[in-house]
Amino acid sequence: MSEITITRTTKPGNLPDATKLGFGHCFADHMFVMDYEKGKGWHNSSIVPYDEFCMYPSAMVLHYGQAIFEGMKAFRTKNNEITLFRPQDYLSRFNRSAEILCIPQMDTKMVHEALKTLIQMDKAWVPDCFGTSLYIRPFVVATDPYVGVKVSDTYKLYIILSPSGAYYAKGFDPVSIKVEDKFVRAVHGGLGEAKTPANYAASLKAQVEAQKEGFTQVLWLDAVERKYIEEVGTMNIFFKINGELITPALNGSILGGITRRTVLELARHWGVKATERAISIDEVYEANAKGQLEEVFGSGTAAVISPVGELSWKGQKIVINNNQTGPFAQKLFDYVTGLQYGKVEDTFGWVETVAKL
Of the two residues 298 and 342, which places its CB atom closer to ligand PLP in the complex?
298
How far, rounded to the nearest angstrom, does the alpha carbon of residue 157 sit from its chain's CA centroid? 18
- Minimum CB separation of residue 75 from ligand PLP in Å reads 15
Of the two residues 236 and 247, which places its CB atom closer to ligand PLP in the complex?
236
232 contacts 214 by C-beta, under 8 angstroms:
no
- Minimum CB separation of residue 66 from ligand PLP in Å reads 17
C-beta neighbour count of 110 within 10 angstroms: 16
- Minimum CB separation of residue 237 from ligand PLP in Å reads 9
- Minimum CB separation of residue 260 from ligand PLP in Å reads 6
Of the two residues 42 and 163, which places its CB atom closer to ligand PLP in the complex?
163
Closest-CA residue to 309 (of 330, 326, 292, 323):
323
Of the two residues 218 and 235, which places its CB atom closer to ligand PLP in the complex?
235
- Minimum CB separation of residue 47 from ligand PLP in Å reads 25
Residues near ligand PLP (CB under 6 A) are: 71, 195, 199, 231, 234-236, 255, 257-260, 299-301
Phi, psi of 107 (to 5 degrees): -85, 100
Helix residue spans in the chain (DSSP H) = 60-64, 87-100, 108-121, 197-212, 258-269, 281-289, 327-340
Instruction: Identify the helix (H) or strand (E) that includes residue 295.
Output: strand 293-300
Residue with nearest beta carbon to ligand PLP = 257
Coil vs helix vs strand at 129: coil
The region, left, alpha or beta by phi > 0 then psi within -120 to 50, assigned to residue 239 is beta
CA-CA distance, 45 to 111, in Å (whole number)? 9
- Minimum CB separation of residue 146 from ligand PLP in Å reads 28
Of the two residues 6 and 250, which places its CB atom closer to ligand PLP in the complex?
250
CA-CA distance, 161 to 115, in Å (whole number)? 10
155 contacts 98 by C-beta, under 8 angstroms:
no
88 contacts 112 by C-beta, under 8 angstroms:
yes
Of the two residues 84 and 255, which places its CB atom closer to ligand PLP in the complex?
255
